[in-house]
Amino acid sequence: MADQEQLYDLQLEGLDAEEWRARVEEVCHQIGHCETLGKHYLAMQLDAGPRLFVSFENIPSARKFNPEAAPRGWLLARDRGWSCLTILAKDPENWFRDPAIYAFFDRLIDDGYFDEFEDVLFYGAGGAGYAAAAFSVSAPEARVLALRPQATLDPARTPWDRRFMAQRAKDFTSRFGYAPMMLETASQAWIVHDPLVPEDAMHATLFEAPNTILLRTPHLGLTPERDLSLMRVLDDIIDEAMDGTLDADSFAGYWRARQGHLPYLRTLFHILEEDGRDGLLARLCRFVLRDTNRPLFAKKLAQIEARTAEETSTETENA
């Protein structure tokens, strides 16, 4: 069992990439098990409670965006008493297509590792979301929470997604290849995505099994995981996924947090401004200015109100 007290003093912030990795390996060897997979991956296991959080992450994003610059799996293990299995990639854009990872999960299957836990949740975002869905087949009846995942980058199946051309050369047709098919053994799966990003929306439609719920986050763009984290609802969403209680209604409650999330409000501002929808834009500005003084919104509201007053005056004179 992991001595999770050591997770309270990770000392990962402010380290460069090599120092960060060395510190992560040091902590992991002290309280769990750490091994290198191939040239580009680390597998870290902390065995504690009867719930297992399996996360796919990459080092640059963890260092830059996660609280305490820590793997998200470690933070959840510390705060909730969960066990965790974290697969870390060195590179930011990574779909975890490596024979060393296949062999690692084969070994876990043969050892009956996943059978030891009452609940198992696979988690990831982007290419890591793809991996979470694809490798969940290793643990039948697991749950899966994948944010903006790709179903595959096999050009024969998804020729319309040309965003990751270098990655398309990888083999997505062999083991653990087509993520929607790998989800068939899961008890529940949730796909979170922005339907206004065409490629992400098209990938989401390929996850069409009855056990899968699509959860939409319009106007969050390419990194909904970062925004949901900044909105302080991502961990709550993960909790509900682990419990198996996440659904469209409960997600809608978390999604309301966007009303206080300035990056979302700015995005909406620019969309309405570009479309010339002054009425809705004025309502948005008034909504934002109820609780805070934001010069961008205040200036635009003043412009709209002045323009409206001028138009009204002109109409009155011409009447």
Helix (H) or strand (E) holding 263: helix 262-275
Question: Beta 41-46 vs 33-37: how paired, if at all?
Answer: antiparallel
pTM over cut 0.85:
yes
pLDDT of residue 207: 97
255-286 pLDDT, tens digit per residue, is 999 999 999 999 999 999 988 899 999 999 99
Q: What is the structure's pLDDT at 319?
A: 57
Q: What is the pLDDT of residue 293?
A: 85
Neighbour tally for 221: CB within 10 Å = 17
Average pLDDT over the chain, rounded to whole? 91
Given a cut of 60, whether residue 59 has pLDDT beyond it is yes
Give the span between the Cα atoms of 197 and 219, in whole angstroms. Answer: 8
Average pLDDT value for residue range 117-140: 97
Give the integer Cα–Cα distance in Å for 241 and 231.
Answer: 18
Q: What is the pLDDT of residue 3?
A: 55
Number of Cβ atoms within 10 Å of the Cβ of 274: 8
From residue 284, give the alpha-carbon distance in Å to each of 157, 261, 263. 41, 13, 13
Beta bridge partners of 55: 86, 123
Going along the chain from its start, the domains and CATH numbers come out as 4-259 (3.40.50), 262-318 (no CATH)
Q: Residue 185: its pLDDT value, please? A: 94
pLDDT at 316 over 70: no
Q: How many CB atoms lie within 10 A of CB 230?
A: 16
Q: What is the mean pLDDT of residues 134-149?
A: 97
Residues sharing a CB contact under 8 Å with residue 294, sequence separation 6 or more, in sequence order: 262, 288
Query: What percentage of the chain exceeds 70 in pLDDT?
Result: 95
What does the pLDDT read at residue 318?
A: 62
* Residue 188 backbone dihedrals phi, psi, to 5 degrees: -150, 150
Quick one: pLDDT at residue 2? 47
Q: What Å distances lie between residue 163 and 31, 76, 115, 146, 284, CA to CA?
A: 39, 31, 38, 19, 33
Q: Structure tokens of 83?
A: 């066990």
Half-sphere exposure of 194 toward its Cβ, with a 13 Å CA cutoff?
A: 18
Q: Please name which of 134, 234, 256 lies closest in space to residue 186, comparing C-alpha atoms.
A: 134
| pLDDT recorded at residue 317 | 61
Q: What is the pLDDT of residues 170-184, one digit of tens each?
A: 999 999 999 999 999
C-beta neighbour count of 196 within 10 angstroms: 14
Residue 232 Cα distances to 67, 244, 271, 304, angstroms: 11, 20, 24, 33
Taking the C-alpha atoms of residue 59 and residue 46, their distance in angstroms, rounded to an integer, is: 18
Judged against a pLDDT cut of 70, whether residue 12 lies above it is answered with: yes
Element (H, E) at 110: helix 99-110
pLDDT at 95: 95
